[in-house]
Amino acid sequence: MLLVVVTLAAASAFWLFDALPFQDLPAHAGILAMRQRFAESAFEQRYYKLGTEVGPYAVFLVLGDLFARLVGPTGAVRALATMPVLATPAALLYARRRLHEDGSLWAGFLGVALSFGFMTLLGLASYLFGLALVMVALTAWLELLADVDAGVPSAKREVAFGAVAFGVGIAHGHAFVVLATLAAFVAAFRDHRARCVLRLRALAPGLLLGAWSVARGGPPDGSAGTFQLVRSADFQTPLDKLSLLVTPTLMTRSGLDVAVGVAVWVLLLLSVRATLRDREPPADGGTRRSRLHARSALLAAVCAAALFVVLPHAFEWFGFIDGRMVPVILFSMIAGIRRPALGARLERALDAVAASAACAMVAIVLVASYLFQAEARGYREVLAAVPARASLLNLPIDPDSAVFTAHPFVHYDKLAGIDRDVLLSDVWADRATALYATPNNPQTRLPAAYNSANLKSLDWASYDLDDWSHVLIRTKPGADAPETPSRLTPLKHAGGFWLYATASP
């Protein structure tokens, strides 16, 4: 009962509050609205081309369109963000039950706690939902390999694994690559290696989808291509890498969520250690199978840890690459722990810390979201002053929050496009949005250094204000008015939001 209550309370964080602190969600709401009216909007057709929704983001693109028809674009992104919070504990409970016949709830509680991390705050809901599917697929893969090793018929399990793996592929491309890598690594360490590796053929439908997406699912004809945020690979220092280990629970600047993350890491490492040290002879076939599953799941954790070490932090437009592997490590550890090996004391600690971590993370997020509303004050009034068919240059020189980490205000300009045609300055041109700028879109003429997530100061000379009818600036609430060129006319100011009109049409 407590797990149900905590899970519902966790989901409520996306619905109880007006202003969302989850960085990319306002962008997805505005872009979703643009896609829905695109066929009737001659204005937006001048500046964008609509790409295909078939590909590695199909689940969220299609569900986003469906949810938007039911509850509007903002409600749709709230629903999409809720999905990982429901799916993650369910996937971990499923893995525990299938792999170890473990009906306890500790994995579900940890699933709730780990549903609120830095990637949640970044708004990477599609990837987080993909990770929940990865755990379901990895469970099916381990069951398939166990049947192969046992020499029993495995065709049905192979089909089931292939189907779930394809679901991962249409949920998120990077999550599918992670699954394929883990599956191959685990298969390479099985007793019947050749026969196990052969079963990787079940990944073929997902691989074909990925190949098609690369070859045919990119920028459509007549577009200017993909807007690159980063031109090369970005590798972090070892210290920066280590700091990413707490990101699965990093949400606020309080430090409380970091403490929860440290407690989870310590508990899981102790539980893995006890699992690996268990030398008691298996009493039955079920115990032998559970131990085999534990060994393979922990091999998957080792593989994920190796990827975390070697992967860059960003490559071209795709960011937080190495950090995305940290939840995979934790989820695989959760799948690999054997409760009978823990002993009574560690078993009780596992149950208590897991439940406490879930309750603590939900409380932290709800309180922080309440406090965040004061920081977001004024955004509705200012964005309401943006007229239809305006061209809006977004310059958030201070998009950060005193409560949450990341950059919660960086995409609030997209909310102006929910109920009217507005030309926005940084619509992502990639498969996640299915929208691509045309050559006459002024976004394509922004300076190479423009990245609305990382503006610290304004070099007005680098922006051609003739391209834009309005400029939106975000500062800290209570800060002095930003310095602007004389051609900018103040239109509206509330809280930390400042709207200006240019002399351009």
Name the token pair of 68: 């938007």
Looking at the DSSP bridge assignments, the partners of residue 493 are 498
DSSP string, 135-150: HHHHHHHHHHHHHHHH
**Digit-coded pLDDT (tens) for 38-56:** 999 999 999 999 888 787 8
Mean pLDDT (whole number) for 303-312: 96
Q: In terms of Cα–Cα distance, which of 403, 402, 409 is closest to 368?
A: 403
- With 0-12 / 13-18 / 19 or more C-beta atoms within 10 angstroms meaning exposed / middle / buried, residue 156 is exposed
The residue written with tokens 């990637």 in the block is 119
For position 283, what pLDDT does the model report?
A: 67
Please give the distance of CA 367 from its chain centroid, rounded to a whole number.
22
**Digit-coded pLDDT (tens) for 409-419:** 999 999 999 99
pTM for this model (two decimals): 0.94
142 CB-side CA count, 13 A: 27
Name the token pair of 67: 């949810």
Looking at the DSSP bridge assignments, the partners of residue 419 are none
Residue 261 and residue 246: Cα distance in Å, rounded? Answer: 6
pLDDT-derived band at 271 (thresholds 50, 70, 90) equals very high
**pLDDT score of 355 more than 90:** yes
Domain limits of the chain?
Answer: 22-45+52-216+230-373, 379-501
Instruction: Report whether 271 contacts 342 (CB < 8 A).
Output: yes
For position 36, what pLDDT does the model report?
A: 92
The residue written with tokens 């199909």 in the block is 58
**pLDDT score of 505 more than 80:** no
**pLDDT score of 231 more than 80:** no
pLDDT-derived band at 319 (thresholds 50, 70, 90) equals confident
Q: In terms of Cα–Cα distance, which of 267, 275, 274, 235 is closest to 249?
A: 267
DSSP string, 261-300: HHHHHHHHHHHHHHHHH--PPP-SHHHHHHHHHHHHHHHH
Q: Which amino acid is at 39?
A: A
Residue 250 and residue 404: Cα distance in Å, rounded? Answer: 9
For position 2, what pLDDT does the model report?
A: 94
For position 253, what pLDDT does the model report?
A: 96
Mean pLDDT (whole number) for 80-104: 97
List of long-range contacts for 146-151, beta carbons under 8 Å, 24+ apart: 146/289, 146/292, 146/293, 148/190, 148/192, 148/195, 148/196, 148/199, 149/190, 149/191, 149/192, 149/196, 149/292
**Digit-coded pLDDT (tens) for 470-488:** 999 999 999 999 999 999 9
Q: In terms of Cα–Cα distance, which of 379, 359, 362, 382 is closest to 370?
A: 362
Residue 181 and residue 187: Cα distance in Å, rounded? Answer: 10
